[in-house]
Amino acid sequence: MPTDAPEADGTLAWDSTTMVVVEVAAGDATVIGWPPWRLLELPLTRLLGATHESVPVYGSGGFTTYHDTRLAAQLNHWVQGQHIPRVKIKIGESWGREVARDLHRVRAARQVIGPGTELYVDANGAYTRQQAVRIGGALAEHGVGWFEEPVSSDDLTGCASSGTRCCATSRRASTATTCRTSPG
């Protein structure tokens, strides 16, 4: 389905996305089509059992294609409108060639959400190792609590190195630096 506007992270751009519908098989019945479940209108967590009463969530978006006004509107919707205390934005625009704009957007995001909301960033592997270390220090100054995929998730040595070196710059950034093996 088409997105409402062009979207991009550090390495990819797109104008359509996919809706995923999951069907869960329960015995010889399929949960989504199982009449008792539908009649009872039970959430799957009650039908199948839950291990936690609640889980923390965060608003994820803040695409690099967004201008400041759109970014502010999205963040305000999550933080003020939905009372979500954590948000994540994309950085690493154009494979790390727009660092000044990345940091501008981080500053803008912090101004919008205030000091009491957790701010996370995701570079989707767009930076070099050297950039990741340098930017990790700058992110810490803005209270960024999570730096996702600073370098390619295929570069495990680079991920570890970025974390260690960010540690010398900022303990907060180092504990938050991570690499994930799947995009998101």
Binding site for Mg ion (CB under 5 A): 122, 148, 184
3-state class (DSSP) for residue 158:
helix
Question: Looking up tokens 């936690």, which residue turns up?
Answer: 52
Looking at the Cβ atoms of 62 and 166, the one nearer to Mg ion is 62
How many Å separate Cα 38 from the centre of its chain? 32
Looking at the Cβ atoms of 43 and 154, the one nearer to Mg ion is 154
Looking at the Cβ atoms of 102 and 122, the one nearer to Mg ion is 122
- Give the DSSP per-residue string, 89-127: EE--HHHHT-HHHHHHHHHHHHHHH-TTSEEEEE-TT-S
Q: How far is the CB of 37 from Mg ion (least distance, A)?
A: 33
Q: What is the Cα–Cα distance from 171 to 161, expressed in whole angstroms?
A: 14
Q: How far is the CB of 177 from Mg ion (least distance, A)?
A: 13
Q: What is the Cα–Cα distance from 131 to 18, expressed in whole angstroms?
A: 32
Looking at the Cβ atoms of 75 and 121, the one nearer to Mg ion is 121
Q: How far is the CB of 16 from Mg ion (least distance, A)?
A: 19
Q: How far is the CB of 161 from Mg ion (least distance, A)?
A: 19
Longest dimension (CA), the chain: 58
